[in-house]
Chain A
């Protein structure tokens, strides 16, 4: 194991391993403090960044932060590394890599070609040398396009997940919230429900409800009821209408085990979903959620800081060419990300790292009520992530999820973002919105609350 040193203001700092160095270089956050990994002073943090800036990128291939023998995510990262793709940056230090990423040499085509040559630790490391604006500027250059029944990630587009959760999975309650979201132009990334239970019957009922609405109104989107991967496999075997297979994933084998997931299980689910072949414009069938803090919360972080572990989860995700990946950035609570400032920083890091690794990154821009954050923080994050080119955001009615008891972006927030940045929905979904009279002459969502729109039949049947 190598030691890393640097001298700042006459004081010499020593970091005993690459994991220690990465943790000390990370911006302040409560989770790293809780894990005992954070820099002990502001000066030590900057000293770590000086040492990191001088480190050759190639060293990440020589010193895994978690041993190869004990962790299958490390094996996935090392065995899957594409040396040819890495070649253009193989001679750079982390500091030089930052400058290269910011330069005009790094354009969309170059960055797409580079992705298989990058490891999560490399992108996490360079993110620690970047300011928030750097993270936006570089992420904005990356384009990742995926498709199932809609196409996600095209430049100038922003998709949304419509999230009509209900605390008891009441079909009428879900359908009412679904109608609300559709009338506000939401749902092109996915119509996704977090069910209140993981019972296969409840999941299947919700899948059938969503499938019938999508089919009846010919909506070019996909549904997902977010259950454990084993539940999805079981349901697919029984012929349930599964569009996307969902799973929460993390950056270590042990943290994935705490979710009851192995790479083998994910392989099996991926294959089963592809075999169903339910997509119309593409074959990306997986939907992953991640979020800083999950490995620490499972006591499975191996002394690696929470952002670097999070980036390692993206190595798991990219094995499966997912349609969607989102970081649920402020969900776990203030012991991991204390306030709006820490949540914003984490959101920008996750989005940057995921995109550089070639993933279709979206965000659940959210907070819990015991974190020091509010709806202004959501607006700030939303705007920065919109500029940074996020593929999609999660939206809830009024920004208040009544099932998970947390605050997220609202359908209104997505309309705001599309308006101020000139972003449009996924092309297939945009055409559908036009065909059912939900777009005005400028291409914006028409306010139909007074017109008795045909879609409101969904609601009228419930109300009857």
Chain B
């Protein structure tokens, strides 16, 4: 009974399997009394367990670094010392640990990639390095800083990092809040000249649900990101002034 597809209830089998083509919603589950049949109860618990494990699985920066051959990486932590604190204190997850700040590679960078565990290290382990690799080849004129691998990190930690190392823009690749139908979804946030504590979400451009094959592909995400990075450099801004809209943002093909 493990790993089964959701099965329709008795009768109307053809109807529910036809309807399920239109939605991933858990419809037509049938009933045992008022409750869910055992199979569906366990199926829901399986999905919840995957989401919970995604939230609490430790981040392994070494595993991401190994997927970035030829690229320098630097490991940092936020000011949140552990997962429990991280979940309750988003303010700490947005600030660099004081010791780690001293080790950052200061330079004349056009962009820095920050790989942040966020709420799903699984998403980061599975997808982040590929997005970095596919994006850098699409922005060959950019001076790219070493990739920062950040633990217990929220999106705005990228602001602190970019400001500290002198990067003109930051791309944060972060594990999204896991839903029951997707525990491994990666988000990408682009921010031009962020100012820690001043920059808000309205100043960022976001791509979400990077999660092939069901979500956005690596090439699709990297093409959009590179396009946005180019426009951000031209306009000197990101956020609501820079619409993620294919009429204005060219999807950039790689130069290999």
A263 → chain B, closest Cβ, in Å?
Answer: 24
Interface residues of B in 44-94 (CB under 8 A from A): 44-45, 47-48, 51-52, 54-55, 87-91
Pick out which of these stretches binds chain A: B107-115, B177-185, B226-234: B177-185
Given known contacts A370-B55, A400-B44, A400-B47, A405 and B177 CB-to-CB distance under 8 angstroms: yes
- Complex CA distance for A334 and B84, rounded to whole angstroms: 10
Tell yes or no: A86 within 8 A of B by CB. no
- A contact residues, total (Cβ < 8 Å): 51
Tell yes or no: B15 within 8 A of A by CB. yes
Query: Chain B 1-44, CB within 8 Å of chain A: the 1/0 string?
Result: 00000000111101110111011111111110111100010001
Set of chain A residues within 8 Å of B12, measured between Cβ atoms: 449-450, 452, 456
Given known contacts A166-B23, A452-B12, A34 and B34 CB-to-CB distance under 8 angstroms: no
Whether the Cβ atoms of B181 and A402 lie closer than 8 Å is: yes
A29 → chain B, closest Cβ, in Å?
Answer: 10
- Complex CA distance for A405 and B15, rounded to whole angstroms: 26
Whether the Cβ atoms of B23 and A369 lie closer than 8 Å is: no
Set of chain B residues within 8 Å of A462, measured between Cβ atoms: 18-19, 22
Whether the Cβ atoms of A176 and B9 lie closer than 8 Å is: no
- Complex CA distance for A418 and B235, rounded to whole angstroms: 58
- Complex CA distance for A459 and B11, rounded to whole angstroms: 14
Tell yes or no: B136 within 8 A of A by CB. no
Set of chain B residues within 8 Å of A400, measured between Cβ atoms: 25-26, 44, 47, 179-181
Given known contacts A400-B180, A412-B35, A335 and B19 CB-to-CB distance under 8 angstroms: no
* CB-nearest residue of chain B to A453: B12
- The 8 Å CB contact of A176, one of B11, B23, B35, is B23
Given known contacts A449-B9, A463-B18, A369 and B25 CB-to-CB distance under 8 angstroms: no
* CB-nearest residue of chain A to B37: A412
Tell yes or no: A277 within 8 A of B by CB. no
Given known contacts A34-B91, A407-B48, A398 and B26 CB-to-CB distance under 8 angstroms: yes
Set of chain A residues within 8 Å of B180, measured between Cβ atoms: 369, 400, 405, 407
Instruction: Indicate the member of B25, B30, B181 with the most A CB atoms within 10 Å.
Output: B25
Interface size classification for chain B = 35 or more
Whether the Cβ atoms of A402 and B11 lie closer than 8 Å is: no
Interface residues of A in 152-187 (CB under 8 A from B): 164-167, 170, 172-177, 179-180, 184
Set of chain B residues within 8 Å of A459, measured between Cβ atoms: 15-16, 18-19
* CB-nearest residue of chain B to A181: B27
Tell yes or no: B119 within 8 A of A by CB. yes
Given known contacts A180-B27, A398-B25, A375 and B87 CB-to-CB distance under 8 angstroms: no
- Complex CA distance for A464 and B11, rounded to whole angstroms: 17
Whether the Cβ atoms of B36 and A456 lie closer than 8 Å is: no
Set of chain A residues within 8 Å of B44, measured between Cβ atoms: 375, 398-400
Whether the Cβ atoms of A34 and B28 lie closer than 8 Å is: no
- Complex CA distance for A33 and B87, rounded to whole angstroms: 12
Set of chain A residues within 8 Å of B10, measured between Cβ atoms: 449-450
- Complex CA distance for A370 and B47, rounded to whole angstroms: 13
Whether the Cβ atoms of B26 and A369 lie closer than 8 Å is: no
- Complex CA distance for A235 and B11, rounded to whole angstroms: 41
Interface residues of A in 372-408 (CB under 8 A from B): 374-375, 396-400, 402, 405-407
Whether the Cβ atoms of B24 and A449 lie closer than 8 Å is: no
* CB-nearest residue of chain B to A174: B23
- The 8 Å CB contact of A416, one of B24, B28, B34, B177, is B34
Interface residues of B in 87-127 (CB under 8 A from A): 87-91, 119
- Complex CA distance for A164 and B23, rounded to whole angstroms: 10
Whether the Cβ atoms of A415 and B181 lie closer than 8 Å is: no
Given known contacts A369-B177, A374-B48, A399-B44, A334 and B25 CB-to-CB distance under 8 angstroms: no
- Complex CA distance for A175 and B23, rounded to whole angstroms: 10
Whether the Cβ atoms of A33 and B88 lie closer than 8 Å is: yes
* CB-nearest residue of chain A to B45: A375
Set of chain B residues within 8 Å of A208, measured between Cβ atoms: none
A44 → chain B, closest Cβ, in Å?
Answer: 19
- The 8 Å CB contact of B179, one of A405, A452, A463, is A405
Whether the Cβ atoms of A370 and B27 lie closer than 8 Å is: no
Set of chain B residues within 8 Å of A333, measured between Cβ atoms: 87, 177
The 5 closest A-B pairs by CB, nearest first: A450-B11, A398-B26, A405-B179, A463-B18, A173-B23
Query: Could you jot down 26 A-B contacts, CB within 8 Å?
Result: A30-B88, A173-B25, A174-B23, A176-B20, A176-B23, A335-B88, A338-B88, A368-B177, A369-B54, A370-B178, A375-B45, A399-B26, A405-B180, A405-B181, A410-B36, A419-B33, A449-B10, A449-B11, A449-B12, A449-B31, A450-B9, A450-B10, A450-B11, A451-B11, A456-B12, A456-B15
The interface of chain A, by Cβ under 8 A from chain B, is 30, 33-34, 164-167, 170, 172-177, 179-180, 184, 333-335, 338, 368-370, 374-375, 396-400, 402, 405-407, 410, 412, 415-416, 418-419, 447, 449-452, 456, 459-460, 462-463
The interface of chain B, by Cβ under 8 A from chain A, is 9-12, 14-16, 18-20, 22-31, 33-36, 40, 44-45, 47-48, 51-52, 54-55, 87-91, 119, 177-183
- Name 8 extra pairs, CB < 8 A, besides A165-B25, A369-B48: A179-B19, A180-B25, A333-B177, A375-B45, A400-B26, A402-B181, A406-B179, A419-B33
